[in-house]
Amino acid sequence: MASLKTQERTKERFSLLLLDLEEYYFEQHTAYHVTSTSKKERKIRGSFKVCSRSIIFDPEDLSEPILKIPLRDCMKIEFVEEENNPFNDPRPSAISILCGQVIYIKESNVIAPYRNERGTTKISFQLEVWSKTEDVVQTLHQLHRASCLEKLGDQTAMIAANLQSRLARSSFDKNCFQNVTEKPHMECEVEMVTPLVSNPGHVCVTDENLYFQPLNGYPKHVIQIKLHRIRRIYKRRHCLRPLGLEVFCSENELCSDIYLKFYCTADRDEIYYYIATFLENHMTEHTAESYMLQWQRGHLSNYEYLLHLNNLADRSCNDLSQYPIFPWVIADYSSAQLDMTNAATFRDLSKPVGALNKERLDRLLTRYRGMPEPRFMYGSHYSSPGYVLFYLVRVAPEHMLCLQNGRYDHADRMFNSIGETWKNCLEGATDFKELIPEFYGTDCSFLENKMSLDLGRRQNGSSVSEVVLPPWASDASDFLQKHKTALESQFVSEHLHEWIDLVFGYKQRGSEAVAAHNVFHPLTYEGGIDCDSIEDPDERIAMLTQILEFGQTPTQLFSSPHPQRITPRFHNITRSSSITSPISELSPNFQSEDSSFEDLTEESRKLAWANMGNLTRVSSHKIHKEAVTGIAVTRDGTAIFSTSQDSTLKMFSKELKEFQRSMSFSNMALSSCLMLTDGKTVACSSWDNNVYFYSIPYGRRQDTLMGHDDAVTQLCWFDDQLYTASWDSTVKVWQCTCDSSSTHKRSQFQLQAELEHETGVNTISLNPTGTLLASGCKDGTVTIWDTSSYETLQQVHCHTGTIHSTAFSPDSRHVLSVGADSCMKVIDVQTGMVISTVKSEEEQRCFCWDGNSVLCGGRSGDLLLWDLLSNTVTKRISAAHAGAVTAMWMNDLCSTVITGGEDRQLIFWKLQS
């Protein structure tokens, strides 16, 4: 356990875990523990440590136990003056302590439960530097008075005052700077947080490094982190207050490099923003939505995704009250073989642990219904410090001893067997715990007793040693390997979003939590109580202690259903002849019977997008008098048609590299154009409320559709159906039939449906199979429609300004929209959740995308290539147009791009291999 590393049995035996919870280690002095017998005086050399609630003596001789003397048990602490006897050696000054209890720790240098020896005892210590003795005694008197105060709140306040006085009298030693040219930005008082421990000191951030200097010089004089190495930084709630800051120098590690607790939120925020600003070129600030998109599309494993969600939800390995949570995923711990093709092997991830056993749930619900408000279903939580150390006692025994006042838990309550633990989680009246990340890692030592710890004997006489594994695991390493395989399995990948809804999502609280039987004690939820509002210090401390020990629900990350992962389950399934819903057709790996060409094309597309940064300008042509609004290309790519606000449709010959035809249908702007599937007709939408059809072979207008009460903004075509969007707040669906009796083969348009919107519709797009339609409106709303029933599937108000363009991803799972608010939004089709938001420097007007990367044209004329998975610009072509990029076309193989702009130009781009 990366953060709960036990100290090696070296000379350094002392640990801050030997202190009580919420206790501070202030200073240390080399000293001698003096013991006298009838024959002679014995001196044991060691370190005399002054702590806020105790005195600890750590002898250099490893065979001697560490002594801990609680200050509250001291009856007298005296300064014994030195004796100058001319006939004997001078006797140095000493500290004499009369106490009622001495605690013996690590006897024979073995980690074991502490031995408490009660009874009046007199102990003497001589400091190696005699002159400091009187000052140390004065300090002990102050701390002793604090420890003997009747009220816990008064004790805490007096100790805090002593700590602040020490911090105020000291400062960061700038001689510790790694470079003489370093410029300090800020210094303040903080505490470094590790599991169960807070160590006070000073933090200093410079233009090169982040430093922490402990007040007591433990574990070393200064801790240094180079700013350019930092990859992630998180604000944290510590003890329910916004005072924490955690820094990671890696992308996917479980444990951080340092966790700091500030005394003032403003100090925390100033250092956070300074580091974040400094690291703009070194790190990317990810959101839950951006990680979700990466996970959905297979760029993050289930393990990595859960790790990131835990981090974003305030879970930290340095805070046992908010330790990362992972789910039980396997339900079979008795079979000889683990069958991962059988759904019964897995736990139902749609239910919390407390609801997995119906009989137990019925009993809990009966109690819940008869309970006064505020009601709760479960009297204990799924994650707490006790549960974390239950799992980790074999690698973190000193943490368990610290948490439980020097004792292990009863042997029958220890982590003895994985199968028994799962059984108790299903049947126990108060056991609803989930797992921790270590169950899906590579270090199996938490399942083994490598330290040979004496963890006691159970009632059946067996000793607690190695964890008993399921029959299907040959050893601890094999168990972890299979357990991790299960986490990444097809079944878990398809259902993990259901567990995320319970723990991090919309079923975490409110009516959805009640319906999902997922209601815990009110104190466990973020914002459940404001401890600072409790005036009585003792009551406030008691409440805070209760919350931290009981367990805390993670910060809620999602307020709507979490999308399902895109999995390769349907890769070899052929199309059924039965009718399917649009949502069921969202499988990204669906293939037709003749899939060889599709595979080749898809591979070419992927390769093209991977090299999209090599886009090179081929030629540019100014053929319009005003901004270009639409681009359409014939199948063979020889003729390019474009519409413009100058009211003309123009044809450009790619081979001849010259403008060939011009057609004007009215004196109002044309807003878009579309090549119909016959390859012979171009449809154009106009601000005069009409749609015009231009015959390429005949070189003239063929049909006019007078279909709307306001400007027609965009067109789509699929299977002889025309979709028209308009500022009259509708999208209309027309069935097109050709009148063969007419000499001019005129088309007839029959209105099939009228899709109503609240405001004008600026843009529409169809998914590749034509089963879904997305519309974008002036009020920032994206609506997704089922084209077979014309019902609304999702309606998402995701932009604060008008929407310029929308498009489905090739797999139909997502819709991307760009708007006047300079944001790009990725919407999950199945749930309607906005799973990614990218804020650009300026509004983007048009784009093409492959589901991961976006080539978009901005208001200033730049072309940007965005990687949505990391929210970064990977390529910028500055000033591609002298004004906004207003239209964009890309061929099927993504090797050719044509853009049009406000500068009236068409620009041809080629992807260089």
**For the segment 314-323, what is each residue's pLDDT rounded down to a tens digit?**
999 999 999 9
Mean of the pLDDT values across residues 137-147? 95
Sheet holding 823-828, edge to edge: 803-808, 814-819, 823-828, 834-839
CATH 1.10.1540.10 placement within the chain = 320-550
Q: What is the pLDDT of residue 36?
A: 79
Quick one: average pLDDT of 143-157?
A: 91
Tokens, residue 246:
């955690």
What is the number of alpha carbons within 13 Å of residue 458 lying toward its C-beta?
11
Which among 792, 677, 670 is positioned nearest to 731, based on CA atoms? 792
Find the mean pLDDT for residues 246-269: 91
User: 199-238 pLDDT, tens per residue?
Assistant: 999 999 999 999 999 999 999 999 999 998 998 899 999 8
Say yes or no to pLDDT of 450 above 90: yes
**Tokens describing residue 905:** 């130009």
pLDDT band at 589, cuts 50/70/90? very low
**pLDDT at position 429 over 70:** yes
Dihedral sign computed on CA atoms, order 8, 13, 18, 22: negative
- The DSSP secondary-structure symbol of 470 reads P
Q: Give CATH 2.30.29.30 domain extents, the chain.
A: 16-167, 172-285
At residue 753, the 3 state secondary structure works out as strand
What's the Cα-to-Cα distance from 785 to each of 2, 41, 257, 730, 772, rounded to whole Å?
49, 91, 48, 13, 6
Residue 587 is predicted with a pLDDT of 36
**Residue 403: what residue type?**
L
Q: How far apart are CA 488 and CA 2, in angstroms?
A: 22
pLDDT of the residue at 635: 87
In this prediction, residue 2 carries a pLDDT of 45
Residue 427 has pLDDT above 90, yes or no: yes
Residue 260: CB partners within 8 Å, gap ≥ 6? 190, 191, 192, 193, 203, 212, 244, 245, 246, 247, 268
Q: Which residue has the higher pLDDT, 630 or 657?
A: 630
Q: Evaluate whether 371 touches 364 at the Cβ level (below 8 Å).
A: no
What is the rounded CA–CA span in Å between residue 153 and residue 193? 22
Assigned architecture for domain 320-550: Orthogonal Bundle (1.10)
Count the residues in the chain.
Answer: 913
Banded pLDDT at 285 (limits 50, 70, 90): low
The pLDDT of residue 87 = 54
Residue 597 above 70 pLDDT?
Answer: no
Cα–Cα distances in angstroms (integers) from residue 188 to residues 211, 265, 370, in the given order: 11, 12, 52
Q: Tell me the mean pLDDT in the region 265-281.
A: 87
- Segment 407-420, tens digit of pLDDT: 999 999 999 999 99
pLDDT band at 167 (very low <50, low <70, confident <90, very high): very high
| pLDDT confidence of residue 594 | 38
Is the pLDDT at 280 greater than 70? The verdict is: no
Residue 818 C-alpha from the chain's centroid: 25
Residue 254 scores a pLDDT above 70: yes
The whole-angstrom separation of Cα 550 and Cα 521 is 9
Residue 84 above 90 pLDDT? no
Q: Are 802 and 820 in contact (CB under 8 A)?
A: yes
Would you say residue 839 has pLDDT above 70? yes
| Residue 48 reports pLDDT greater than 60 | yes
For residues 154-161, average pLDDT? 92
Residue 510 to residue 553: CA distance in whole angstroms: 13
What φ, ψ does residue 163 adopt, rounded to 5°? -65, -50
Structure tokens at 485: 């395989």
- Enter the CATH code of domain 172-285: 2.30.29.30
> For position 238, what pLDDT does the model report?
87
Distances (CA, A) of 269 to 182, 185, 272, 354: 22, 14, 5, 38
- Residue 83 pLDDT: 63
What percentage of the chain has pLDDT greater than the value 70? 92
Residues 266-282, mean pLDDT to the nearest whole number: 85
Mean pLDDT confidence for 811-838 = 93
- Averaged pLDDT, 783-792: 96
More confident residue, 596 or 577: 596
Task: Judge whether 820 and 762 are in contact, CB under 8 Å.
Answer: no
Look at residue 598 and tell me whether its pLDDT is greater than 70: no
Q: What is the pLDDT of residue 896?
A: 93
Confidence class for position 746, pLDDT limits 50, 70, 90: low
Q: Give 602-643 pLDDT, tens digit per residue.
A: 788 888 998 999 999 999 999 999 999 999 999 888 899 999
pLDDT of residue 579: 33
Q: What is the DSSP letter of 469?
A: P
What percentage of the chain's residues is helix, strand, coil (to nearest 5)?
Answer: 25, 35, 45
Residue type present at position 230: I
Q: How far is CA 355 from the centre of its chain?
A: 26
Q: What percent of the chain has pLDDT over 90?
A: 76
> CA 494, CA 838: separation in Å to the nearest integer?
27
**Rounded to 5 degrees, what are φ and ψ at 411?**
-55, -35
Better-predicted residue by pLDDT, 531 or 455: 455
- Residue 458 pLDDT > 80, yes or no? yes
pLDDT for residue 174 is more than 90? yes
Tens digit of pLDDT for each residue in 553-575? 999 999 999 999 987 643 332 22
**C-alpha span between 116 and 149 (Å, rounded):** 23
The confidence score (pLDDT) of residue 86 equals 53
User: Higher confidence at residue 602 or residue 268?
Assistant: 268
What is the rounded distance in angstroms from the CA atom of residue 404 to the CA atom of residue 649? 81
CB 737 within 8 A of CB 548: no
**CA-to-CA distance for 215 and 209, rounded, in angstroms?**
19
Write out the CATH class of domain 16-167.
Answer: mainly beta
Q: How far is CA 356 from the centre of its chain?
A: 27
Q: Which pLDDT score, from 0 to 100, does residue 158 have? A: 93
